[in-house]
Amino acid sequence: MNEELAELAAEAARLAGGLLRERAEAGAERGVSSKSTPTDLVSEADLAAQRAIHALLSARRPEDGFLGEEGGDEPGASGLRWIVDPLDGTVNFLFGIPQWSVSVAVADADGTVAGAVYDPNREELFSAVRGGPARLLTPQGESELHGRASDPRGGGGLETAMLATGLAYDAGVRERQAQVLALLAGRVRDIRRLGSAALDLAWTAAGRYDVYFERSVKAWDIAAGELICRCAGLAVRELPERDGLPWGILVASAGLIDEVGELVGAG
């Protein structure tokens, strides 16, 4: 059954991704508004993608619950709930930056059961089923993901690590996050901030990053990507609220997570 759920998650992510790519190719979105802050944007594309996903899931699994970033928290009756970010990286999408994705996951009382993150711009589908391998499907074929336990370019410690992160919409929180980044900048190979938490997690599972951490993420940002990272053999920790910083997540190999965790406030 879990494999069937994973297939449905992938189908839903591809459906929304195709819709979004068509809208991106058609030009600038006209229906745009803000949510929590003036920089926290939502477009008609977000809403249309969520409607498409919700319609598909409701038709196939009407007893399941549904939680979407753009509204809707339906409890359901099956014990399963779909957790959806229909467009992760809305600001990138609106500015024509091809770094955005669709995240679709399904969870039970114990956490995420299956999930998919789809990148329409590169036609890459990342997916996983709890207890199984993490996979990457591209037009060229399918492969299993194993993170990156060591750096093939030499080293393997924090000084050669490539980190990915994100910044909150709230300006005061970003200022605190900048202090953490200043602490890290001289300790690592480099830092990337590309703007899609779901893709950052998927890329960490694929070994494109050594470490990903971000605060102020929500369930829909990370539900699928966290599972993909776990199934790729990576360690996952929570970042508790502290010193003006909201809750977050940290993902890295077992060999790096303790050292990075001390610097970014895990535990």
What the block records as the tokens of 249 is 């997540």
Per-residue pLDDT tens over the stretch 34-84: 555 555 455 888 899 999 999 999 999 999 999 999 888 899 999 999 999
Range 158-264 classified under CATH 3.40.190.80: yes
pTM, whole model, 2 decimals? 0.92
155 pLDDT exceeds 90? no
Which residues, including other chains, have CB under 8 Å from residue 254's CB and lie 6 or more apart? 149, 235
How confident is the model at residue 205, as a pLDDT? 98
Q: Does domain 2-145 have CATH number 3.30.70.360?
A: no
3-state secondary structure of 236: strand
Percentage of the chain modeled with pLDDT above 70: 91
- Domain positions in the chain are 2-145, 158-264
Q: pLDDT tens-digit profile of 18-27?
A: 999 998 888 7
pLDDT digits (tens, 9 = 90+) for 211-266: 999 999 999 999 999 999 999 999 999 999 998 899 999 999 999 999 999 999 87
Number of other residues whose CB lies within 10 A of the CB of residue 208: 16
**What is the phi/psi pair of residue 19, to 5°?**
-60, -45
The Cα 225–Cα 117 span in angstroms is 7
Measured CA distances, 178 to 75, 197, 243 (Å): 38, 17, 13
